[in-house]
Structure 1
Amino acid sequence: MKQPRSHLVRELVEIIVLTLLIFFLIRLVVQTYQVDGQSMEPSLNANQYVLINKVAYIFKAPERGDVIVFHYPRDPRVDYIKRIIGLPGDTVRIDSTHVWVNDKLLDEKAYISAPVNPFAKIWKVPPGQYFVLGDNRPVSDDSRYWDYVPKANIIGKAVLVYWPVNKWQFINTHSDTFAGVGNQ
């Protein structure tokens, strides 16, 4: 009589341990993030949930157009979500309505809400840093105001909107917008 009961307890413990192990392994690879605010509209809306690939940049560097979640450089307790525009070594130039990367004018109509920049400026992206912009330029707090995101601050690449279910979609990196932008 005692043997079946101990067998059941052992199986329950094994199931619990295996479940916890799987949970922690998944948390090492993926993370969820709730979009807060309007800075990524129309691509992402407030209160949508996205899946973050935390291992995307282990074997491959971030690319222009990737939407990333990162620790805000001025307060690492706060996480932001933005689109990478400039890579290390790039020169990013803006005027009131346009963005150039390495002297190539970007055609951003596919993903920005409005081509608005508050000032004209040129940035030379330092090694190990990334220049990011929100898709909703009129309201986005981004690299135009506080410069760069260190690679160490990047949590991962946003890959999928999974909530609400009727808005399920893979996140578009708009790689065609950045085609032909060479390195400097």
Structure 2
Amino acid sequence: MKRSQLAREIVEILALTILIFLVVRFVVQSYRVDGPSMQPGLVTDQYVMVNKVNYLFHGPERGDVIVFHYPRDVTQNFIKRVIGLPGDTITTDRDTVTVNGKVLDEKAYISAPYNLAGQTWTVPANQYFVMGDNRPVSDDSRTWGFVPRDYIVGKAVLVFWPLNHIHFIDTHSDVYKDLPNK
């Protein structure tokens, strides 16, 4: 009797462990930052926690830092900041980014203002315009276009490695609060 009870408890513990693992794996994912495109906020070899269920009921918001499948090679994942939502008009000149006619004050998170040339984009339905915070070196929507909604893995919410750099990732929502919607 005791042996069968022990076997049952072991099976229950294993089943519970597998269930917890699967739930956690569905909800969060880690992502290793690779490259300088999100400096100064995120640097190479930091690990971030990505909330994979954040966008089940609503889309990304301006300022969110997202992990997504690179549209030109979906085997690669990138991390960038959402600048434009579906329907937004984004305009750049050498030093500024304008969304729906309002110039963004991005001093709090970009390394340096930089754009190659003045351009204008209108974000299509179910797509997003993203940019890295290190504008002079970032490979982003300015060069390869928009990110489809179904390519988004999730919202980066926390730097958890290295331990001496643990912090929540700031969306700088105050930069975007007064933007008119399209």
- TM normalised by structure 1 equals 0.97
> How far apart are residue 5 of structure 1 and its match?
1.6
For structure 2, the 5+ residue unaligned runs are: none
> How far apart are residue 9 of structure 1 and its match?
1.6
Q: Paired residue for 1:176?
A: 174
Q: Paired residue for 1:4?
A: 2
State the distance in 2 between where 1:96 and 1:147 align. 18
User: 1:56-90 deviations in whole A, cap 9, x for unaligned?
Assistant: 01112210000000000111110000000000000
Kindly report which structure 2 residues correspond to 1:7-86, keeping only aligned pairs within 5 A, or say none: 7-86=5-84
Q: Paired residue for 1:87?
A: 85
State the distance in 2 between where 1:132 and 1:168 align. 24
TM superposition outliers: structure 1 runs of 4+ over 6 Å: none
Aligned length: 182
State the distance in 1 between where 2:162 and 2:67 align. 19
State the distance in 2 between where 1:179 and 1:104 align. 11
For structure 1, the 5+ residue unaligned runs are: none
Kindly report which structure 2 residues correspond to 1:102-121, keeping only aligned pairs within 5 A, or say none: 102-121=100-119
CA RMSD of aligned residues (A): 0.7
State the distance in 2 between where 1:166 and 1:114 align. 26
- TM normalised by structure 2 equals 0.98
State the distance in 2 between where 1:92 and 1:171 align. 24
State the distance in 1 between where 2:127 and 2:38 align. 21
**3-state SS, counterpart of residue 32 of structure 1:** strand
User: 1:19-46 deviations in whole A, cap 9, x for unaligned?
Assistant: 0110001111111111111110011111
User: 1:84-119 deviations in whole A, cap 9, x for unaligned?
Assistant: 000000000001111000010000000000101112
